[in-house]
Amino acid sequence: MKKITFNVIVNQLLILVLVLILYKKLTTIDYINVSFYIGGAYLFIGILVLILQSGFFDFFSSSFKKVFSRKHGQDEINTMRAPSEIITMKASFFFRSGLPIILIMLVALFIYSS
């Protein structure tokens, strides 16, 4: 719980600093815009890591390697690791970082719209 709280606080400070750097003022709509971009980037990277780890692209990458390689390089192709074996980071970090940002952004959007 401490890690998640620390992560949320650091991300919110990052968003506030970016709002002040980009817009030179702190308004609700500017905060909503920046937090949407950062939260969306976290979620996009998390989904991308999750898809790569699932092995979805393993077949495609091995097929492309076989088609576009030379005949004498077949041994190298067989020893190359699949994309699902290369990605070792956890997607849960990105989801735990992105979801609170998006939820806080939705609260700010609700406050802004009312």
Query: Is pLDDT above 70 for 71?
Result: no
pLDDT digits (tens, 9 = 90+) for 17-60: 999 999 999 999 999 999 999 999 999 999 999 999 988 888 88
Cα–Cα distance list, 88 to 61, 83, 98 (Å): 18, 10, 19
Averaged pLDDT for residues 89-113: 94
Q: What is the pTM of this model?
A: 0.82
Compute the distance between CA of residue 74 and CA of residue 90 in angstroms, rounded to an integer.
32
Quote the pLDDT of residue 76: 66
Strands (E), the chain: none
